[in-house]
Amino acid sequence: MYSVEQIKLSNKELSLIIIENNNIKAKLLNYGAILVELLVDDKDGKKENIVLTHKNIDSYIENPAYFGATIGRTSGRIANGKFKIDDKEYTLYKNYGQNSGHGGKEGFNKKIWDYKIIENEDEISVSFNYYSKNMEENYPGNLDVYIKYTLMDNKMIIEYHANTDKKTLCNLTNHSYFNLSGNYKRDITNQLLYINSNKFLELNDKMVPTGRFIDVTDTPMDFRKEKNIGESLEYNYSQIKLANGLDHPWLLNKSGNSITMIDYNSKRKMEISTSYPCVVIYSYNFPNDENLKYNKIGKKHYGICFETQYEPDGINHNNMNSSILKPNENYYEITEYKFSII
């Protein structure tokens, strides 16, 4: 089932697209290819929203915390806003202090995307398309991007496609903030987290990876056994103090499920699997008192992001994925979110 509501925001004619099946309901905006709401059942069969949502739809025009947005061309920070491809240096807009972040001044989160709805017998999808022109935000090459959201049984699947006519950077992700309590009854500190990862990337004081991978053993960054998120946030650990919480890339092990999140009160369980090698996990450390739906105010640790991607700033490090996409290569990655009741 689907429906489309036409809305006008800041003189922009936009579409709010609602897709649903028996288990999941998703609301999507063609501005920023944004996931606005995601409703799944709790233990009593009550559907509630499990992602942070602005109270006012017009807040998505600015959306400084990137609620639900598609991030591109590159997610994460690029050190000093500079990178080289074939010895040619490119300088990006520095919107994160001395660094460029999440696509620059007007990344993919601030673009109007074309879309089409695809209905099949056992699934329903919305495919968004955006054509990013050569030197947009100072990235080389024309980049044709498709983001496809699919609901299938108890899963939401996001697929990322892109093609270019010139070597460029491409590192796409989704920036939804999850809270499995439902309608933000509680923050995420007492929800459980598992990460199938032995290593995380160290950050410098500018929040950019140093290039050093740190073994999670005997650190609060070890989530190889499910534990309360708040347990790690309370540690007097230099990397957590630096970020005011979690805001780090974990290198994912190739075998098995990548991430599990559980809320024991609602009994909701979310399992994330991905083709990406890395996930940046951000625990909403710097809220701006956003007006959220359900008459809530955005507070620290009200949600948590799982930004599946290539290692941020990999172009400036020899030991990481560079995120370089070449002509005649097909960029394709997939992240799957599976929901169940424990």
Annotated binding-site residue numbers for beta-D-galactose: 175-177, 247
Cα-Cα-Cα-Cα torsion 85, 167, 309, 41, nearest 10 degrees, comes to 160
Residue 175 known to be catalytic: yes
Residue 248 known to be catalytic: no
- Return d(Cα 97, Cα 64) in angstroms, integer: 15
Q: Spot the catalytic one: 37, 102, 136, 175.
A: 175
- Return d(Cα 312, Cα 200) in angstroms, integer: 12
E strands along 76-196, which residues? 77-78, 82-85, 88-91, 100-101, 114-119, 124-132, 143-152, 155-164, 168-169, 173-174, 177-178, 192-195
Q: Are residues 248 and 239 in contact, defined by beta-carbon separation less than 8 angstroms? A: yes
Pairing of the two strands 304-309 and 177-178? antiparallel
Annotated binding site: 175-177, 247
Q: Spot the catalytic one: 48, 307, 333, 336.
A: 307
Q: Are residues 296 and 237 in contact, defined by beta-carbon separation less than 8 angstroms? A: no
DSSP letters along 287-335, please?
Answer: ----EEGGGEE--TTS-EEEEEESPTTGGG-TTS---EE-TT--EEEEE
3-class SS string, 78-108:
EHHHEEEECCEEEECCCCECCEEECCCCCCH
CA 164 to chain CA mean position, Å = 22
Residues assigned a catalytic role: 175, 307
